[in-house]
Amino acid sequence: MEFKVFDLGLVQYQKALQLQKELLSSVKTGLLKSALILCRHYPVITLGRIADKKNILVAESELKARGIQLYDSERGGDVTYHGPGQLTVYPVFNLQYFQKDIHLFLRQLEEVAIGLLSDFGIKADRLSGLTGVWVGKQKIASIGIAIKNWITFHGSSINIKKNDLDNFSLIRPCGMDIEMTSLETVLGRDIEIDHLKESLVHKLRAVFYDKKNIFQEAIL
Amino acid sequence: MTKVILPALGEGIEKATVSYWYFKEGDKVNEKDDLLELTTDKATFNLPCPCAGVLSEIFFREGDSVNVGQVLAVIQEQ
């Protein structure tokens, strides 16, 4: 089984969300087995299902003045920021073909980011009890998902560009006092986001299509 | 009468919070309709109706925390 990759480049949040919903429906009807969206977003702040608006630290007019959109989102988690300096991935995966385990799926998304970063010689880790990927005490990848009929949507964002981190100061990411970092910050050099896409897809395949999963597919 | 139970969600997840009911008590429901949305720390997910009938009783409101195995609602089959 394979997932179909949709590379949207730089898009508005709503446009990627719309495609996720279309893909969700295609996966549900069996037209597609699974799909993956890769994109970067124009600056946007999204509020997850458990978000507290107090975690946005500036007025809505201030966000508007900065050209940052604001949306409610049905994903899990609190508030987050997306921008063009992140690589965002939305796996629309039918967990019936993998393992019907929400917790495991979050851990697998973390593993993908950890693997990608290790290719750059960066030692990234999970922090016990917190979802996401961290370099030391600083967060480099954020995760928030939604599941319908065991099909996933929303997903994960990895901070790549250094100059996009400033906008995180407008919020309390995930409702916590978290310091964010990026691949460029850690490495101290420029990174082209487009160069990471292939590697990311490769990591996703490695994590989700190991021997155990291939076996599961075979018995379906 | 069919009980709607919070199923096992994966290792280490023992509870979830009701975030949205798509129906209210007394509503007619069809099998596989989305019945309610639940939220864990970083994930939201829907539970479908296990059967068609009338949603006769809801035991947990939006914002309530529910343990795996607890009865969320009862559907009266017709």
Find the CATH number of the domain harbouring A35. Answer: 3.30.930.10
User: Between A and B, how many CB-CB pairs are < 8 A?
Assistant: 61
Cα of A153 to nearest chain B Cα, Å: 10
What is the pLDDT at residue A169?
94
Residue A6 zone, left/alpha/beta (φ > 0; ψ -120 to 50; rest): beta
Q: Which residues of chain A does B17 touch, with a Cβ-Cβ cutoff of 8 Å?
A: 50
Full residue range of the structural domain in which residue B28 is found:
2-10+18-76
- Rounded alpha-carbon distances, angstroms, from residue A104 to A110, B16, B43, B66: 10, 16, 12, 20
Tokens of A5: 């990759």
Q: Looking at the 3D structure of chain A, how many domains does it have?
A: 1
What is the pLDDT at residue A99?
85
Query: Is residue A174 annotated as a catalytic residue, yes or no?
Result: yes
Are A103 and B48 within 8 A, CB to CB? no
Among A174, A180, A193, A204, the one annotated catalytic:
A174
Are B41 and A146 within 8 A, CB to CB? no
Tens-digit pLDDT profile for residues B14-73: 999 999 999 999 999 999 899 999 998 889 999 999 999 999 999 999 999 999 999 999
pTM for this model (two decimals): 0.89
What is the pLDDT at residue A98?
86
Query: In a structure prediction context, what are the per-residue pLDDT tens digits for chain A, which is 220 residues long?
Result: 579 999 999 999 999 999 999 999 999 999 999 999 999 999 999 999 888 999 999 999 999 999 999 999 999 889 999 999 999 999 999 998 888 889 899 999 999 999 999 999 999 999 988 999 999 999 999 999 999 988 999 999 999 999 999 999 999 998 889 999 999 999 999 999 999 999 999 999 999 987 455 444 444 4
CATH of residue B33: 2.40.50.100
Full residue range of the structural domain in which residue A104 is found:
3-219
Of B9, B13, B39, Cβ closest to residue A49: B39
Considering only alpha carbons, which residue of chain A is nearest residue B10?
A101
ipTM: 0.79
Q: How deeply is A24 buried, as exposed, middle or buried, from its count of CB atoms within 10 A (0-12, 13-18, 19+)?
A: buried
What is the pLDDT at residue A218?
44
